[in-house]
Amino acid sequence: MGKRQAPVRKSVKDVLADLLAGHREAAFGGPESALKYLHRTVEGQTSLPNAVKAVAYDLYAEAQAQCGQWEDCAASVGVSLGYLPELEAAFPHEYRRMLEGMACFERGIQAYIELGNFPAALNLCDRAMALNLGEHYEAKRDSLAWAQ
């Protein structure tokens, strides 16, 4: 009998690179195609690292917003934000750049406004401002001040 091959273990960085490459390719077919790819990937991989899930659900939120699926978008934003500590732990040097490139705050605010949940939109503005993600979140918050 031959020696059994050890399973290939990918690093979190490699798994993330695979996810982004697959998503980029699927997104050429439009947001519906991207959603299909993300669903297959997230549901099909029981061992997807939580740091990668933060990015996957951010991509979900972006595609769902493009499709006008506001409730699903808001849910994906919540999941993505819940995994941010794992993303920071896995990518301590790249975390800031990755965070600034994520769409979950923008899309979450948009989704909550579309759903009429202005307190949740204000909360996301506050979280983005606390993370120093840009002055435009302060402007968004100011434009929603009437909802308080």
Single pTM value for the model = 0.91
Residue 79 has, within 13 A of its CA and on its CB side, a CA count of 18
Residue 80 tokens read as 């993505």
Domain ranges of the chain: 12-147
Q: What is the pLDDT of residue 54?
A: 98
pLDDT by 10s per residue, the chain, length 148: 567 776 668 899 999 999 999 999 999 999 999 999 999 999 988 889 999 999 999 999 999 999 999 999 999 999 999 999 999 999 999 999 999 999 999 999 999 999 999 999 999 999 999 999 999 999 999 999 887 6
Q: What is the pLDDT of residue 1?
A: 58
pLDDT tens sequence across 92-127: 999 999 999 999 999 999 999 999 999 999 999 999
Q: What is the rounded radius of gyration, in angstroms, for the C-alpha atoms of the chain?
A: 17
**What superfamily in CATH does domain 12-147 come from?**
Tetratricopeptide repeat domain (1.25.40.10)
Query: 124: closest CA among 65, 94, 80?
Result: 80
Q: Is 148 helix (H, G, I), strand (E, B) or coil?
A: coil
Distance CA 127, CA 69 (A): 23
